[in-house]
Structure 1
């Protein structure tokens, strides 16, 4: 106050007020200068970046999922181009259509040649209603919110997208690239292929097993937008290209698999079975050429993603097919020769346990080969008098029983084979004829393939190759082959199995071709958990004189019970097609049959 009075006395009141105003302006100017220095010099980059961020947007460019093909390149699953139609409700409400005239025919709006008749969200809804097949009132309601991102319709075709582009709606309504997974063969390999979920992730089957390979890497594009959020043309700042997923080629032959599916389904109907399973394997390579069950599940469906293929997941006792593994072990250890002679009754008692053959017969003079041909449980027990528990277990295990196939198929069941230390007095004998342990269709197929492949066990595989987005193809790696029995042992077993094929030639014979086979029947738990159901199986080698294929057929509770009479005829149907499709030369006459009787 004293300073003010002195100033007034010195220069007068007007001059004092002028000085005060100048001081205030000086302070304001100083503040502006400090702020300007901060914005343009000290933190210039920070503020510039913030401004850029407010007008910059990014959009994800979705990568396509790779295809799944059969061995010949037939597409089994692929992602096809589709679009999701997106609406910006704020911009839609600001929309004003431009009427078309004789002079203005481009970048204008009309419906069937007439003016739209309204503005805003209602106008947008009228323009796109017929194209999207959605009621205009419904669309209008969706576009009357405050959302900048409204999904109006999913998965429309490229044709619809192109028509939408011609409506001149700018960014009120636009299309975002998407995709839909399509499966070309319906129920063929339904659960084996599996499906993909809403995030385009494989669930179940091959889709899940090869998800990492099939899944691509999304790209992105960054651009500047106007005040309304629309893209400013020519303002692309950055772009990262998407990389599509790799294509997976299977060993499966779709034509063969289709025929196997039909033969299996017909067989289930003919014999009134609950279900059926079939496998076709290449003897020399271990490649799976067909893998089917009788379930009618659409590939890509929810059920396909939730239920594994029976051919992969179902386990059962192999029954008399298991005699092949046990007998091969006896030969390998030198305990017997195929020509060894036995007088075999239809029943036997060992350590207080009674065993019997599938049918009554008088004491029969059979060689070891004859025991296999006649599928005698009693004969197997008699032949195994010097076969220790550890040896019995060792050879069943060597053939791959009770172990995963190594193909890593989702939900594959390994079955079970307990060590001999857990066996009781009965189990030690029932394992000789395929009871007391369980297997699946893949295991039993590869086990018989050991005999067909001169005693060598190949690693089964179903993935043939992988081709990346740049076209580079890599052949899938497989585990190494291992010898299970000597070549001479395998040859003797194959010879005896051919006698089985001859025994059932009326039901399973294929004119012009020799067949080596083994049939099996085993009790399995029924719906009530008791052993009231039957699994009938047949595993055959074609042709026996020059093995190329192993075919396994399994039926649950067929009318006719025995594998040779039910699963065997289905094998015949499949085998005839195989010989024709692959143009396999006819067999030479058999001249070296091992005697089955004495």
Structure 2
């Protein structure tokens, strides 16, 4: 007969009651376990497995290399080379036990000179690794002691050393992270012009900064599962994206020409005891810059190179009588003068209460406009410009590029200084005619002469020849624009007169076998005390004059000898002779049809 549960419970002994309670609790626990097992296996199994996999999965960055910078002939000027950062795991090192080398363990064991390591833990790792890295064993062992899992042991390790570390079979304890090091094989050549990169590999100065976007690559990555000892579990790579290296930038600069120009400037600076010297070499027909040099000696990539932009880019100065090229071009283009027009030119002249004079005293001379240029007469230029309006004076200065950026984007480049004609005072209104009252730079001076030599067409100067990706595919580069400034007939007259200028300096600035068209300049500049106690001497020359190929501009600060023709001129000739030989330019034909310089 069934006894009601409540009656049974009242009559049950204490032991029976305890037994029932325990059984009930066990049944509840068992039920919970079954439910949990069912949940894990049927519902949360996938999530749990994914979580376990995720805890073992790591992502490793594949570093992209920065693109190369090369000269016009493909010679490397800056490149990134493979380097490694060696990283240790002290926690893993604490349990490291070397594997004795036998036939069975060959290829996955450790020994020193064929003998057992003789110790365990960080000391064992240090004994194996220190000789390869050239480090002190005790110091390395101390670095690997602790409970953390990451310590940088050494940076910028070369690939041969990294391969030697791999042969030690220390995976899980020692890893090598791929990095790059930016190197400049040519030392001080183009030091400040190339600039440099910071610790992250970002261009921060010079061409490295200017072309940083193109030179910088995109890092890739790979994902895999890692075992307890930190080693990659074979076959567990889940995702991999290759790195894309930066583009390679080829310059218009010819390394050999750059080197020669730098040497010529250094010698000229020493000879004439100048504060500094800068120069440029430009191809007439294209506007390409073949050399842009100064006398600074910063190592490319150094802190000095990153802090000090090239003087050839930053230095501005009054061009002095070189500015007469702009004035006479404007006078001819506006048909206010011809090179044959005749003038009686005194030593000094008064205009609107202002007195102007030539650099050296002379009696009244009978010069043509070509003779005024040859003798670099300030007075003659003012006389020829009596109907040349202020607006026209300003217009031609801007058309030739004075006071404007070269358009190349060089970091630190100064535009110079050219104020509007409406703000010129009575004196500046006329000094701008002969290259005073405004500031320019070596690139602007070069392009003035190049425009005349190029039959009146001004090219956009360029220093980037082309850009190619890591596979050698050429990328599009903006084509430089050209604008006509003066007519070909005007340019021809200017070249004729400039050749007469160069003939006056043939003994000191001539290039044997070649005709030269040139203009010299000398201008006062502010000295250390702010007074006009300094001198800038410059020379811009075209050669060959009968078949213009190159424009060479040389500028000196405070040279002994003062005048541009006697100081910058000889440096020009030195560079010019090298260019004619290097590029095997045919010698010039005899000169005919020279415009008279006197009457």
TM over 0.5: yes
1:166 is displaced (CA, Å) by: 1.2
Counterparts of 1:536 and 1:314, CA distance in 2: 13
1:45 is displaced (CA, Å) by: 3.9
Q: Which residue in the other structure is 1:191 paired with?
A: 192
Q: Which residue in the other structure is 2:246 paired with?
A: 245
Q: Which residue in the other structure is 1:409 paired with?
A: 410
Counterparts of 1:504 and 1:52, CA distance in 2: 82
1:334-391 Cα deviation digits (max 9, x unpaired): 1111111111111112111111111111111111111111111111111111111111
Q: Which residue in the other structure is 1:320 paired with?
A: 321
Counterparts of 1:208 and 1:102, CA distance in 2: 55
Q: Which residue in the other structure is 1:438 paired with?
A: 439
Q: Which residue in the other structure is 1:266 paired with?
A: 267
Counterparts of 1:124 and 1:476, CA distance in 2: 53
1:6 is displaced (CA, Å) by: 4.2
Counterparts of 1:274 and 1:475, CA distance in 2: 41
1:106 is displaced (CA, Å) by: 4.4
Which secondary structure state, in structure 2, belongs to the residue aligned with residue 437 of structure 1? coil
Q: Which residue in the other structure is 1:581 paired with?
A: 582
1:485-513 Cα deviation digits (max 9, x unpaired): 11111111111111111011111111111
Counterparts of 1:438 and 1:534, CA distance in 2: 14
Q: Which residue in the other structure is 1:181 paired with?
A: 182
Q: Which residue in the other structure is 1:375 paired with?
A: 376
Counterparts of 1:273 and 1:291, CA distance in 2: 18
Counterparts of 1:10 and 1:206, CA distance in 2: 100
Counterparts of 1:149 and 1:530, CA distance in 2: 61
Which secondary structure state, in structure 2, belongs to the residue aligned with residue 203 of structure 1? strand
Correspondence 1:287 to 2:280: no
Counterparts of 2:239 and 2:358, CA distance in 1: 78
1:29 is displaced (CA, Å) by: 3.2
Q: Which residue in the other structure is 1:384 paired with?
A: 385
8 Å contact from structure 1 (residues 464, 475) kept in 2: no
Q: Which residue in the other structure is 2:52 paired with?
A: 51
Which secondary structure state, in structure 1, belongs to the residue aligned with residue 331 of structure 2? helix
Which secondary structure state, in structure 2, belongs to the residue aligned with residue 162 of structure 1? helix
Which secondary structure state, in structure 1, belongs to the residue aligned with residue 72 of structure 2? coil
Q: Which moved more, 1:543-552 or 1:171-180?
A: 171-180
Which secondary structure state, in structure 2, belongs to the residue aligned with residue 65 of structure 1? coil
1:17 is displaced (CA, Å) by: 3.6
Q: How many residues align?
A: 596
Q: Which residue in the other structure is 2:467 paired with?
A: 466
Which secondary structure state, in structure 1, belongs to the residue aligned with residue 337 of structure 2? coil
1:51 is displaced (CA, Å) by: 1.5
8 Å contact from structure 1 (residues 401, 439) kept in 2: yes
Which secondary structure state, in structure 2, belongs to the residue aligned with residue 315 of structure 1? coil
Q: Which residue in the other structure is 1:499 paired with?
A: 500
Cα distance change of structure 1 residues 37 and 429 upon mapping to structure 2, 3 Å threshold: farther
Counterparts of 1:317 and 1:39, CA distance in 2: 84
Counterparts of 1:575 and 1:539, CA distance in 2: 11
Please, what TM-score do these two structures have when normalized by structure 2?
A: 0.96
Counterparts of 2:101 and 2:229, CA distance in 1: 24
Counterparts of 1:327 and 1:221, CA distance in 2: 67
Which secondary structure state, in structure 1, belongs to the residue aligned with residue 546 of structure 2? coil
1:99-148 Cα deviation digits (max 9, x unpaired): 44698664332333443232111111111112111111111111112231
Which secondary structure state, in structure 1, belongs to the residue aligned with residue 292 of structure 2? strand
Which secondary structure state, in structure 1, belongs to the residue aligned with residue 396 of structure 2? helix
Which secondary structure state, in structure 2, belongs to the residue aligned with residue 552 of structure 1? strand
1:10 is displaced (CA, Å) by: 5.8
Correspondence 1:533 to 2:549: no
Counterparts of 1:313 and 1:40, CA distance in 2: 73
1:593 is displaced (CA, Å) by: 0.6
1:98 is displaced (CA, Å) by: 2.8
Q: Which residue in the other structure is 1:592 paired with?
A: 593
Which secondary structure state, in structure 2, belongs to the residue aligned with residue 443 of structure 1? helix
Counterparts of 1:115 and 1:126, CA distance in 2: 11
1:49-98 Cα deviation digits (max 9, x unpaired): 22211111110010111111111111111111111111111111211123
8 Å contact from structure 1 (residues 7, 16) kept in 2: no
Which secondary structure state, in structure 1, belongs to the residue aligned with residue 9 of structure 2? helix
8 Å contact from structure 1 (residues 65, 216) kept in 2: yes
Q: Which residue in the other structure is 2:112 paired with?
A: 111
8 Å contact from structure 2 (residues 191, 300) kept in 1: yes
Cα distance change of structure 1 residues 369 and 140 upon mapping to structure 2, 3 Å threshold: same
Cα distance change of structure 1 residues 486 and 7 upon mapping to structure 2, 3 Å threshold: farther
1:14 is displaced (CA, Å) by: 4.9
Q: Which residue in the other structure is 2:62 paired with?
A: 61
Q: Which residue in the other structure is 1:551 paired with?
A: 552
Counterparts of 1:123 and 1:438, CA distance in 2: 69
Which secondary structure state, in structure 2, belongs to the residue aligned with residue 145 of structure 1? coil
Q: Which residue in the other structure is 2:89 paired with?
A: 88
1:539 is displaced (CA, Å) by: 0.4
Counterparts of 1:528 and 1:22, CA distance in 2: 105
Cα distance change of structure 1 residues 346 and 206 upon mapping to structure 2, 3 Å threshold: same
Which secondary structure state, in structure 1, belongs to the residue aligned with residue 414 of structure 2? coil
Q: Which residue in the other structure is 2:156 paired with?
A: 155
Q: Which moved more, 1:36-45 or 1:389-398?
A: 36-45
1:279 is displaced (CA, Å) by: 0.4
1:528 is displaced (CA, Å) by: 2.4
Q: Which moved more, 1:377-386 or 1:225-234?
A: 225-234
Q: Which moved more, 1:347-356 or 1:497-506?
A: 347-356
Counterparts of 1:7 and 1:372, CA distance in 2: 134
Counterparts of 1:445 and 1:157, CA distance in 2: 44
Q: Which moved more, 1:386-395 or 1:95-104?
A: 95-104
8 Å contact from structure 2 (residues 122, 144) kept in 1: yes
Q: Which residue in the other structure is 2:215 paired with?
A: 214
1:443-488 Cα deviation digits (max 9, x unpaired): 1111111100001010111111111122211352233210111111
Cα distance change of structure 1 residues 398 and 10 upon mapping to structure 2, 3 Å threshold: same
Q: Which residue in the other structure is 1:542 paired with?
A: 543
Q: Which residue in the other structure is 1:393 paired with?
A: 394
Which secondary structure state, in structure 1, belongs to the residue aligned with residue 407 of structure 2? coil
8 Å contact from structure 1 (residues 283, 452) kept in 2: yes
Extract unaligned runs of 5+ from structure 2.
Answer: none
CA RMSD of aligned residues (A): 1.7
Counterparts of 1:345 and 1:494, CA distance in 2: 25
Which secondary structure state, in structure 2, belongs to the residue aligned with residue 439 of structure 1? coil
Correspondence 1:357 to 2:358: yes
Q: Which moved more, 1:95-104 or 1:180-189?
A: 95-104
Extract unaligned runs of 5+ from structure 1.
Answer: none
Q: Which moved more, 1:365-374 or 1:27-36?
A: 27-36
Q: Which moved more, 1:119-128 or 1:553-562?
A: 119-128
